[in-house]
Structure 1
């Protein structure tokens, strides 16, 4: 064996080292470590807002152990309450009550998963769909009108309401896709303006009799959904988890198949990677923009439908989206625009939402702390080099670059 071969074998990483590099430089590791950093930052906020920690900090130099004990008690109590409010309440009287937090997390996650899929699908095609709010509002208006004011047979009524909402969301997003394809207008500006139009259009419909406003009422709110148009409960009336969660899982499977197994998905991904190369290869870039926004809007519309027909069945107002149109962007970013990643990101943020309420009630921790943690997760997700530097992880391709520099220096 030559000296060169020996040196090459010494510099090449082992199989286990290569596996470690793949794990630590992958997107999954960055997401997990971003969550860890956000939770640590949340611990600092919890300590700042806790009265016992503040009191013990006043004599920190005299008895530092008291401050540390108070800090541990505040952080541990808050995160235990977060877990009990989101997953399982061990102190409950019965198993049904103990798992109720999990069902609440799944309920909150349902619209986030569906809307996140719509945003993530657009991301994969190179478009930034920031119009989730408008698409949810238009879907809610269409599904709400069918569900509250149309008399249809049982079974058919629910299907028609679902389809109407999905189509309305798809059309509203398709407007942005069509204008992007025909005029070259930026989709961010288009979707933001469509959000405003949808908001005020829904406000007008809710305040106008004969459209969405409940008969005999002057409040800007619809009538209650008819029983034939309400999504069935999955675990009975004791829980709030409805069939919308099953629809969200079906949407995940559909989006995965579309992106990974269909020819249309291949064209959309090609346009997202390089629209100029895709156009050279004969792919209609403008047509892809229209199609992807139609599908993305339909997915976001599904989130609005599940809100109207599954969660707020007693009628809704102009705040039906509850900010989820923008939360979907966070979910899509955390999930790296992958359907499976978006599923887990939606579940995580649903757990944060459900657990945050219990954490506030049980430990008097402001719910805003949870919102800050969510925002910090996105901040760290958007800065992978920062996360790798904090945990001293290897940068992607760093070893290859070192080997190139070594080889270049040896050749000189």
Structure 2
């Protein structure tokens, strides 16, 4: 019990918690400066997110894609790579699932796995392009992931327009019901919210994330390259191959996330003029979760509650959307600035005699 308490109050746990609290407190101060009631605002936020079964289901739906993209970014971070391309990998996974869902006719027990496998492969291959360019040509992954995001957006739109388009609509045809991840029974349980079984897949991939990185030899090699690629190469690890493997697995997580949005929420793929934003939020989720499996899930919960509950702040307390985004940005900022928060915690402990 004593060991559990020590871990609970360890710096690795306290830093993200304190960072989140500082962000929320500063957000409250800004609301007060704008003559808004922060207690009413935060109360309205949580009432919107958890006030009834419908909103609770919709909150879970909002959280689900953030888990996938958070895992994608965190996996790459753990191995020393910056995957800014989860957005593009998410899109490619979504359009792959739409292709299988629209064009293939199969029973559900084949259709669902095939669509998920296609999305995982599409996202993984899209990510592995980045790994290959870094390994073969030394091209920095930040540049290639950003550029591939735009290529994925327009490539997906082209595929929808030429092969999947519903006439007169800016979207694909509906995927067949045998490829759906949603069900009437689950929806009725949450008062017809758009919650779907993708959340279970996200949690399963979180377990896989932990297992691969911490319980396998391959995971050890991936983490070793992240710590020191030169020492890893000296120890006999193929660093270039590791780059490709890392980005493939990272893209796999994001690709399955895109599939779950198509198969569980919309049941079609939209022609998008802009990014859906899940990949960019995945960076924030990974930072908040400190690149751990459990942390990513908790970070996704936080971001999902804040983004879905934002409308509650707007209508319940009159807080404008711009101010809500400032609050979310403050939370992300202080989590990212963990070193500064760590210094504050140590000074507080020293002042109170808990650190010598």
TM-score w.r.t. structure 2 length? 0.90
CA RMSD of aligned residues (A): 2.2
The unaligned stretches of length 5 or more in structure 2 are none
Check 1:236–1:196 CA distance in 2 against 1; reply closer, same or farther (3 A cut). closer
Instruction: Report how far residue 44 of structure 1 moved.
Output: 2.6
2:31 to 46, 52, 66: 46
Q: Which has the higher Rg, Structure 1 or Structure 2?
A: 1
Instruction: Report how far residue 46 of structure 1 moved.
Output: 2.3
Q: Determine whether 1:294 maps to 2:245.
A: no
1:58-207 alignment runs, 5 A limit: 74-87=37-50, 89=51, 98-207=52-161
2:217 to 263, 268, 275: 263
Check 1:372–1:27 CA distance in 2 against 1; reply closer, same or farther (3 A cut). farther
2:182–2:263 CA contact under 8 A, matched in 1: no
Instruction: Report how far residue 78 of structure 1 moved.
Output: 0.6
Instruction: Report how far residue 319 of structure 1 moved.
Output: 5.6
**Aligned to 1:220, what secondary structure does the other structure show?**
coil
Bigger relative contact order, structure 1 or 2 (CA pairs below 8 A, ≥6 apart): 2
Instruction: Report how far residue 127 of structure 1 moved.
Output: 0.3
Report the Cα distance in structure 1 between the residues aligned to 2:263 and 2:103, rounded to whole angstroms: 13
Check 1:232–1:119 CA distance in 2 against 1; reply closer, same or farther (3 A cut). same
The unaligned stretches of length 5 or more in structure 1 are 1-15, 54-70, 90-97, 403-412
Report the Cα distance in structure 1 between the residues aligned to 2:307 and 2:332, rounded to whole angstroms: 16
TM-score w.r.t. structure 1 length? 0.79
**Aligned to 2:108, what secondary structure does the other structure show?**
coil
Deviation by residue 1:233-285 (Cα, 9 ceiling, x = unmatched): 37333232100000000000000101111111000000000111111111110
Deviation by residue 1:35-54 (Cα, 9 ceiling, x = unmatched): 111111211332344xxx3x
1:36 to 12, 17, 21: 21
1:24–1:30 CA contact under 8 A, matched in 2: no
Report the Cα distance in structure 2 between the residues aligned to 1:26 and 1:389, rounded to whole angstroms: 10
Report the Cα distance in structure 2 between the residues aligned to 1:345 and 1:394, rounded to whole angstroms: 26
1:235 to 173, 181, 186: 186
2:314–2:321 CA contact under 8 A, matched in 1: yes
